[in-house]
Structures are given as structure tokens and as C-alpha cells.
Structure 1
Amino acid sequence: ISKVQQCAVSIMRMVGTRTIYERQIRETLGNNPDTSKALRLLMTQGKLARVGAGGRGDPFAYRATPFGLDALQELIINNSLAV
């Protein structure tokens, strides 16, 4: 499993059923290319949705989509996430 995939798993676990700001994700996992790639990967796969316009007044936040919640449930059951 690649570093990006590991990061994606961590992001899905962090988000869970809530909406979480990108800043919180980056503070926990690091402000690095792997975090950026993992966020983009999860959005491309339809597992995460991004809300907010970005910037100080309306920062980006992420929430799991219904498909993402299903993947999270699989993660909990099987302790793995097909990313």
C-alpha cells in the first residue's frame, strides 16, 4: 500500500460521519504532497465531497459521500480500504 493510499485511509477515518476542515487534516497528517494527492484521489473516486470556496472566510472542508460512508464501513469491518 502506497503512502498516498495510507494517507487516504487516515483521511477517511478522520472524516467519518462529520465535516472536517482541510486545515485539521493537514495539521494531523502533514501539509505535504501525499495529503494533497490523497484528498484529490478520494474526491475523484467519489468518496469525499469538498465544501467551501477556500480562503479565510470560507475554508475548504470535506465530508464523506454515501459511497465514502460505505467504504468507511468496509474499512471498519475489514480493517482495510480499497483505494
Structure 2
Amino acid sequence: MRTLDREQGTTFLLSEQNATLALDHADFGHVLVNGRVGAAGTASELRARPDIRSFYLGIDESGRRRFGAQTSATSGPQKAQQS
């Protein structure tokens, strides 16, 4: 994918449950919660959000990977309110 993107400018739509894997390959991402966009941003922006780090990446406040991350699709990230 990276080669096609770099050499031919091809864009890919990746639908992946593994958030760590998806963010490793994405320039920009949308996080869906119950079929609606719950968060959007560059891979770096999404990785930096505490709610994404905790809920989808399983990383606690100290930066350590925790096991048994939440699995309920109803309590994912809250969409930022527009100012």
C-alpha cells in the first residue's frame, strides 16, 4: 500500500478493527461508534487523544499497555463539540 501511495498517489480505504494496525498505516482516520463518526483526525491526532488511547489502543494514563480494554461499542469516544 505504501509503495502504491508513494509511487502512484493511490488512496486506500481501510476498514479495520485493530486500531493499532490501522493507525500504523493511516494518514487520516475516522473512528466509528455505533455507525456514526465518534472521532476523526490524522493518525497522530487520534493516537494522542486520551479516550482513543484508553478505549481502542489499551494504553493507560502512564503510557503502559493494559490488557482487557473495554469492548462495549456504546461507550467509545465522544465527538468533540464544535465551537
Say whether the fold is shared (TM-score over 0.5). Answer: no
Rg larger in 1 or in 2? Answer: 2
**Which structure has more helix as a fraction of its residues?**
1
Please report the TM-score for the alignment, with normalisation by the length of structure 1: 0.31
Q: Which has the higher contact order (CA 8 A, sep 6+)?
A: 1
